[in-house]
């Protein structure tokens, strides 16, 4: 999810959110349209028709018998034209009276006719002389669109029929166009719901865009922090490699110094053995020189006094021994330095491991690190 958010750009994010918001807004408006016209308005008119089934036939029968056409029209116009009330002849072939008022714009007025009335689902009531006392039809509930017969049709003289015509709801596109095009600020009818849905959808879209951009900004900051940690780890890794190479070089030098010290020490021992053998030989020659010479044997005199040669050789032994001791001391110091380098290498490795663990423990890691060695 974080990868998807981080990959979104503004030129892609805004159209996606806009299309999603328009789709949600359209579906909510469609649901509100069906709830308002097929639900609320239909139930209100059902209640009105149920009241009229109980009262209107008696009133109109009395007025027709009295010949009060003016009062008949006033009764039919009492609903302000929201729905239709139509009086026909006893056979329903011609319209005698009808609601004359129009509420905002004509709806049912455009379709009302004797043929349309014959197909109406709402049952008509008979107007009789004498006037009916009991209702013939009634609705069992506001959600029941079809009235049921609860009384008998009176056997009196029929003066006419009264029909109840429901308001024709506008098409969804027409209703929505009316809200968007004219008077969307007028909070009446279905417009109130459309306005509320529009505000909620707009707020949801803006909140979604803000949350995505805020999350994207946070991920970018974390990504930069991870890149910085990666660079730091790379620098420390190079330092560790350098220390490792130096440690290997010092180890090689230590081994060479130890070998040189061992060879020098052995040469000193061999020189000491040679010196002892030479001293023994010189002592034999000195003893021979003090004895009487044998007959016919001529002894050659030594070129140098034996004491001077011995002294010269003996002066070399302490120097060689001191060199050997110095080489051993240097080898010990180098070994100690190599030990310090090993400790530094271990400490650097521990620091790199801790830095790597801190880097991978950050939530929402977007960059994978791989540390060699």
In a domain, 369, yes or no: no
Same domain, 44 and 167: yes
Domain assignment of residue 80, yes or no = yes
- What is residue 372's predicted lDDT score, i.e. its pLDDT? 41
Burial pattern 122-138, b for ≥16 Cβ within 10 A else e, equals bebbbbbeebbeebbbb
Which comes out higher in pLDDT, residue 291 or 38? 38
Q: Yes or no: say if 120 and 108 are a contact pair by the CB < 8 Å rule.
A: no
Average pLDDT value over all residues in the chain: 80
pLDDT digits (tens, 9 = 90+) for 214-247: 877 887 788 888 888 888 888 888 888 888 888 8
Residue 195 lies in a domain: no
| Domain co-membership, 60 together with 133 | yes
Higher local confidence (pLDDT), 85 or 213? 85
35: part of which helix (H) or strand (E)? helix 10-35
Assess whether pLDDT exceeds 50 at residue 373: no
Does residue 372 form part of some domain? no
User: Looking at the structure, do residues 171 and 227 belong to the same domain, yes or no?
Assistant: no
Domain membership flag for residue 191: no
Q: For the chain, how many structural domains are there in total?
A: 2
pLDDT band at 86 (very low <50, low <70, confident <90, very high): very high
Residues 240 and 320 in one domain: yes
> Where residue 241 sits, what CATH number does that domain have?
1.10.287
Asked, for residue 199, whether it belongs to a domain, the answer is: no
Is residue 134 domain-shared with residue 31, that is, in the same domain?
yes
Give the strand pairing for 95-98 and 84-88: antiparallel
Beta bridge partners of 157: 129
Residue 215, in any domain of the structure: no
Q: Does 208 have pLDDT greater than 60?
A: yes
Q: 62 vs 190, which has greater pLDDT?
A: 62
Cβ-based burial of 304 (10 A; exposed 0-12, middle 13-18, buried ≥19)? exposed
The whole-number pLDDT of residue 56 equals 94
- pLDDT tens, 320-334? 677 767 777 777 777
Dihedral pair phi/psi, residue 369, rounded to 5°: -110, 145
Asked whether residue 33 falls in the same domain as residue 177, the answer is: yes
Structure confidence at residue 87 (pLDDT):
95
Residue-wise DSSP of 220-276: HHHHHHHHHHHHHHHHHHHHHHHHHHHHHHHHHHHHHHHHHHHHHHHHHHHHHHHHH
Q: Are residues 258 and 338 in the same domain?
A: yes
**Least confident among 87-91, 147-151, 171-175, 308-312:** 308-312
Of 159, 182, 205, which residue is a domain's last? Answer: 182
| pTM of the model as a whole | 0.57
Note whether 351 and 236 are within 8 A (CB): yes
Give yes or no for residue 291 having a pLDDT over 80. no
Q: Do residue 69 and residue 117 come from a single domain?
A: yes
User: pLDDT of 99-143, one tens digit each?
Assistant: 999 988 888 888 899 999 999 889 999 999 899 988 999 998 988
In the structure, how many helices (H) and strands (E) does the chain have? 8, 6
Tell which wins on pLDDT, 194 or 51: 51
With cut-offs at 50, 70 and 90, classify the pLDDT of residue 4. low
- Residues 163 and 265 placed together within one structural domain of the fold: no
CA distances to 217, 277, 280, 281, 309 from 289, rounded to whole Å, are 106, 18, 14, 12, 17
Contact 97, 76 (CB under 8 A): yes
| Per-residue confidence band for 355, with pLDDT thresholds at 50, 70 and 90 | confident
Q: Do residues 233 and 165 both lie within one domain?
A: no
Residue predicted with more confidence, 86 or 216: 86
Same domain for 28 and 138? Answer: yes
Residues 168 and 235 in one domain: no
* Structural domain boundaries enclosing 92: 2-182
Report which DSSP code applies to 41: I
The predicted pLDDT at position 63 comes to 93
**pLDDT exceeds 80 at position 160:** yes
Where does a domain end: 153, 182, 211? 182
Does residue 297 sit within a domain?
A: no
């Amino acid at each position: 999810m974080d990868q998807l958010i981080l990959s979104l750009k503004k030129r892609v994010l805004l159209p996606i959110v806009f299309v999603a918001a328009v789709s949600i807004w359209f579906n909510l408006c469609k649901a509100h349209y069906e709830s308002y016209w097929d639900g609320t308005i239909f139930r209100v008119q059902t209640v009105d028709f149920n009241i009229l089934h109980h009262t209107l036939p008696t009133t109109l029968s009395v007025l027709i018998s009295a010949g009060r056409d003016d009062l008949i029209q006033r009764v039919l116009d009492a609903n302000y034209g929201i729905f239709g009330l139509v009086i026909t002849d006893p056979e329903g072939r011609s319209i005698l009276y009808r609601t004359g008022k129009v509420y905002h714009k004509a709806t049912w007025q455009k379709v009302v006719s004797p043929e349309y009335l014959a197909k109406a689902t709402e049952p008509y009531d008979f107007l009789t002389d004498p006037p009916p006392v009991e209702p013939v039809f009634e609705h069992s509930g506001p959600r029941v669109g079809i009235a049921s017969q609860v009384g008998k049709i009176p056997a009196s003289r029929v003066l006419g029929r009264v029909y109840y015509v429901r308001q024709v709801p506008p098409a969804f596109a027409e209703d929505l166009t009316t809200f968007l095009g004219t008077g969307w600020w007028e909070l009446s009818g279905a417009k109130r719901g459309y306005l509320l849905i529009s505000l909620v959808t707009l707020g949801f879209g803006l909140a979604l865009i803000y949350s995505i951009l805020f999350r994207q900004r946070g991920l970018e900051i974390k990504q930069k922090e991870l890149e910085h940690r990666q660079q730091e780890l790379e620098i420390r890794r190079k330092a560790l490699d350098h220390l490792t190479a130096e440690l290997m070089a010092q180890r090689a030098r230590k081994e060479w110094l130890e070998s040189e010290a061992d060879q020098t020490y052995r040469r000193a021992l061999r020189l000491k053995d040679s010196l002892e053998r030479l001293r023994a030989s010189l002592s034999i020659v000195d003893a021979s020189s003090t004895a009487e010479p044998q007959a016919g044997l001529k002894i050659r005199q030594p070129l140098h006094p034996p004491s001077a040669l011995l002294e010269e050789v003996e002066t070399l032994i302490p120097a060689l021994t001191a060199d050997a001791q110095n080489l051993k001391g240097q080898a010990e110091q180098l070994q100690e330095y190599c030990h310090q380098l090993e400790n530094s290498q271990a400490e650097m490795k521990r620091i790199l491991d801790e830095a790597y663990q801190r880097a991978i423990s950050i939530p929402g890691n977007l960059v994978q690190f791989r540390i060699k060695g």
